[in-house]
Amino acid sequence: MRRWIANVVVNVAARVVDKTFSYAVPDDWEIHRLLGSRVLVPFANRKLVGYVQSLTPVDVSPPGVSTVELKPLLEMLDSLPLLTPDLLALAEFISYRYAATRLQSIETMLPSLLRGMPRQKGKDSGAKAYPVLVRSASLSELQQALSSARANAHWLKKILADLMVDEEIALAKWAITPSHSSVQQLLERGLAQMQWREKPRLQAFYEELALSSKTSTKSLPELTSAQQRTLAQLSQALAVKESKTFVLHGVTGSGKTEVYLRFIEQIVKAGGGAIVLVPEIALTPQMVEKFVSRFGSKVALLHSGLSDGERRDEWMRLRRGEACIAVGARSAIFAPVANLRLVVIDEEHEPTYKQEESPRYDTRQVALERARLCQAIVLLGSATPSLYAMNLAETGKARMLSLPQRANGRPLPTAQIIDMREELRNGHTSILSRALQEALTETLARREQTILFLNRRGYASFLLCRHCGEGVECPRCSIHLTLHRQGQTGGFRLTCHYCGYSTPAPERCPACAEVAMRPYGLGTQQVEDTLKELFPTARILRMDVDSTRRKGAHKDLLDKFMHQEADLLIGTQMIAKGLDFPNVTLVGVLNADSLLMVPDYRSEERTFQLLTQVAGRAGRAEKPGSVLIQTYRPEHHTIVAAARHDYNAFYQYERYQRLQYRYPPFCEIAAFLASHQEERYAKGAAERFFRELMRHPAPDGVVVLPASPAGLLRVEDRYRYQVVVKYPEWNNVRDWIIQAFDTVYERMRKIQGVCILDVSAGRI
C-alpha cells in the first residue's frame, strides 16, 4: 500500500509561517477524502486546524523532508472536502498574484461558518439537519417483519408500513426522536438506516419565489437578432472545451441578462455549471427573481445580505452538486460549482469587483484564472466596458461582442446638459435648475416617475465657518465630517463616513467661536427637503446607505417605487444599477461634477460609467425618457460623451490619457501601505520600504514613487504612508517587492505599537 504525506496550510495568522507543513497520513485514512479537507494537526504543542493543500506519496517526498520524523495528522474534520482541486490551485494563484498569505487566500474562499474549527464535529458544521429513516431491506423482508410484529407494537408496525410505501421518511412524520425504541429496533435489525438530511435555510424563500413567478407565467421573449448572434458566438465557443474570454458591450436595456439566461440554459442542459457575478447593490430582488424563476433550486445565492448560516447552506448545495448556478457578489467567484463552464461578470466595470482588504484580488483576473483552470468561458458584460476589458480585447486576449440597441427597439433617452453657471448668472440659486423643475412638474402631471441621482448622502458635504473659513474635521481621520439630519425633524449631527464618529453639529465655530457655520455641498437629505418644498404633493422616496440600514429596507423601497406608491426616487449610486422601472421617464443628475473631483486616475472613467448607468434608467418601456445632467463644467469631454451615449469618444480619449501618463491598463499598480498610531513610524516604514527597493536595481520599465502620505493621511487614529510602484508585469517584480516587504516587516515587529503593513498588488 502506498503511504502519503499531507501538505497542510495551518491556521496560524502570522506571515512568518506562510508555508505548508508536512504530516504523515495515517494508513487507514480514506485518501480520496483528504485533499481539500480540514484536518486537525499537532503544531508547536497545540492542536490546530489546517487545510490539506496537496498530497505527496512517501516515495517521492519533498526534498528535505524526512518522512521518519513526520508527525501524523490527528483527525479529518470534513466528510466532503471543502476545496476542490481547481479551488486549491486558485488559492495558490491568489497568494502569488496578490501577495497574500496562503491562509488568507484559502479562507477568503470559504463561508465564515466553514472556516477553521467546525462548530459541531462530525457532520457538516452549521447545517440545519433533520433525521430520516431510509429503507435498507427488501419489501418482502419488511412485510415479514410487519406480520411477525407483536400486536401491541403500534409504532413499529406503523413505521414498517410507511417504509414499504416510501423509501425515505423524516422522523418528523411520526413526531418521534431517533432514540425512540421502535426506531432503535429497526436499526438493530438492519431493516432501516438513519441518516441526516439538510434543509437549506433559504428553501422557503425559493419556494415562495418560484410560486409567485409561476402565477405570473411570463413567456420568454423572442431574442432580437443581435441577441441571437451573440448567443450563437458563445455557443460556438462552448463547443470547443477551452478557456475563452468575451467582452459583451451592450447598451443599457439591450438584453444582456437575457443572453446570460439563455446561455446558461444550454450549459445546464449539458450538465455544466455557471457562476454569475453582479455588483452587490445590483443584487436586487428583480435580478434574483429572473434567475430563480428560470432555474428554480438549481440556483444558489451568495451575497452579503444572507446570514452566515444561509451562506453556508447555499455554498454546500453547490458543493454537493444540488445546485449548479451560483448567483452572487464578488466572492461568489470562489463558489464550488462542479463542471464549471461559464463565469459571467455583469457590470464588469464596477469598482466593487476589487477587494479592498487582503487578499486584495481583482475578481476579473481571478475569473480569468479560474476559467483557465476549468476550461470555462468568461463573459464580461457592461454598457461601459472598463479600460481593462477593452485592453484584453485589443491585445487579443478577449473577443468583443456587442448589443448596440435596446432589446425593445426603444431609442436611448436623449440627455440634456444644463449649465449651472448660467443658472447662477441669471440669479437662480436653487439646487434644481429651472429646466429640471419644469421637467419634474410635467412628469408629475403625466403621473410618470422620476429618479434623481446625487453622489453624496447626508444633508451636506461639510460645515464651514463663514467667518474664519475653518471646517470641522474628524478627530480620528483627516477628513471633513459630513452633516446629517436625524430623522425628518431631528437635530443636525456631524458624522465621519470613514470611522462612524458622530457629534452634534456645533452652532459656534470650534475655531473662532463665531455663530457662522454654514453647510456646503449637497447631500440627499437636503435634496429631499428642497423637493418637498417645491412639490408638496409629490410622494418622495430617498435611497442611500442611511435609509437602507434595516434588513429588507432596500427591497421595501424598491417595491414601493415599482408599485408606483411614489413619484420620485432620490438616491446615490445604489439606484444607478440594474433597476428596470417601466414608468420612469425622467432622470436627473444633480451634480455631475462631484464625481470628477475625486483625486484618482479613474475618476473620469467612473463619471462616464455612472452617468451612463443612471441615464439608462429612463424610458426603458414604451414611454420615451429624458435625462437632464446638471453641471458647472458643461463642456467637459466626459460629460459631453456621456450625454451623447458616445462610448467610443470617451474610450479613445481616456485610452490616450492612460497611455500618455502610464496608468492601467498600460501598467499595473502596487501600493505598499504602512499605518501606525504614531506618524513617524508609519512614515519610517514607508521610507524604509522605498530604500529597500532601491538597494536592488529596479526591473525594466518599473516606476517607483517615493514614500508619501496615503490618499487620506489619517483614518481611525492611524497615520498612513504609502509607496506606489507601477510595473508592466507582476512576475518580474514580485520577488523584488516581497523581499523588501519582508525586510520592513521584520524590522517593524520590533517597534512599539502595532504597525500594519500591507501590499496591494495588481491594481488594473
Q: φ and ψ at 466, to 5 degrees?
A: -75, -15
Minimum separation from the CB atom of position 371 to ligand ADP (A)? 21
Q: Please say which residue, 405 or 547, places its beta carbon nearer to ligand ADP.
A: 405
Instruction: Count interface residues toward Zn ion (CB under 5 A).
Output: 7
Q: Please say which residue, 132 or 483, places its beta carbon nearer to Zn ion.
A: 483
Q: Please say which residue, 496 or 615, places its beta carbon nearer to Zn ion.
A: 496
CA 558/CA 199 separation, integer angstroms: 30
CA 668/CA 728 separation, integer angstroms: 6
Does 477 engage in binding with Zn ion (CB under 5 A)? yes
Q: Please say which residue, 287 or 715, places its beta carbon nearer to Zn ion.
A: 715
Minimum separation from the CB atom of position 208 to ligand ADP (A)? 22
Minimum separation from the CB atom of position 713 to Zn ion (A)? 12
Per partner kind, with CB cut-offs from 5 to 8 A, the member of Zn ion, ligand ADP, none near residue 255 is ligand ADP
Per partner kind, with CB cut-offs from 5 to 8 A, the member of ligand ADP, Zn ion, none near residue 476 is Zn ion
Minimum separation from the CB atom of position 478 to Zn ion (A)? 9
CA 510/CA 743 separation, integer angstroms: 44
Q: Which letter, b or e, does each residue of 685-702 get, where b requires 16 or more Cβ atoms within 10 Å of its Cβ?
A: bbbbbbebbeeeeebeeb
Closest C-alpha among 98, 129, 102, 103 to residue 115: 103
Cell numbers that stand for 763 in this block: 491594481
Does 476 engage in binding with Zn ion (CB under 5 A)? yes
Minimum separation from the CB atom of position 502 to Zn ion (A)? 9
Minimum separation from the CB atom of position 685 to ligand ADP (A)? 45
Interface positions with ligand ADP (CB under 6 A): 221-224, 227, 250, 252-258, 407-408, 580
Long-range contact list for 220-223, CB < 8 A, 24+ apart? 221/255, 221/258, 221/407, 223/255, 223/258, 223/259, 223/262
Contact of 649 with 609, CB cutoff 8 Å: no
Per partner kind, with CB cut-offs from 5 to 8 A, the member of Zn ion, ligand ADP, none near residue 499 is Zn ion
CA 136/CA 167 separation, integer angstroms: 9
Minimum separation from the CB atom of position 346 to ligand ADP (A)? 7
Could you identify the residue written with the cell 452579503? Answer: 304
Per partner kind, with CB cut-offs from 5 to 8 A, the member of Zn ion, ligand ADP, none near residue 532 is none
Cell numbers that stand for 706 in this block: 517615493
Which residues between 499 and 538 bind Zn ion (CB under 5 A)?
499, 501
Minimum separation from the CB atom of position 596 to ligand ADP (A)? 25
Q: Please say which residue, 224 or 585, places its beta carbon nearer to ligand ADP.
A: 224
Annotated binding site: 465, 468, 474, 477, 496, 499, 509, 512
Q: Please say which residue, 234 or 477, places its beta carbon nearer to Zn ion.
A: 477
CA 117/CA 126 separation, integer angstroms: 11
Does 498 engage in binding with Zn ion (CB under 5 A)? yes
Per partner kind, with CB cut-offs from 5 to 8 A, the member of Zn ion, ligand ADP, none near residue 250 is ligand ADP
Tell whether omega for the bond before 85 is within 30 degrees of 0, i.e. cis: no
Annotated binding site for Zn(2+): 465, 468, 474, 477, 496, 499, 509, 512
Which residues between 446 and 475 bind Zn ion (CB under 5 A)?
474
Residues in the chain: 764
Does 713 engage in binding with Zn ion (CB under 5 A)? no
Contact of 370 with 363, CB cutoff 8 Å: no
Per partner kind, with CB cut-offs from 5 to 8 A, the member of ligand ADP, Zn ion, none near residue 474 is Zn ion
Which stretch of DSSP H or E encloses residue 444?
helix 434-445
Per partner kind, with CB cut-offs from 5 to 8 A, the member of ligand ADP, Zn ion, none near residue 666 is none
Does 155 engage in binding with Zn ion (CB under 5 A)? no
Per DSSP, the residues of 188-206 read: HTTSEEEEEEE--TTHHHH
Contact of 34 with 81, CB cutoff 8 Å: yes
Which spans of this chain sit near Zn ion (rule: CB under 5 A)?
474, 476-477, 496, 498-499, 501
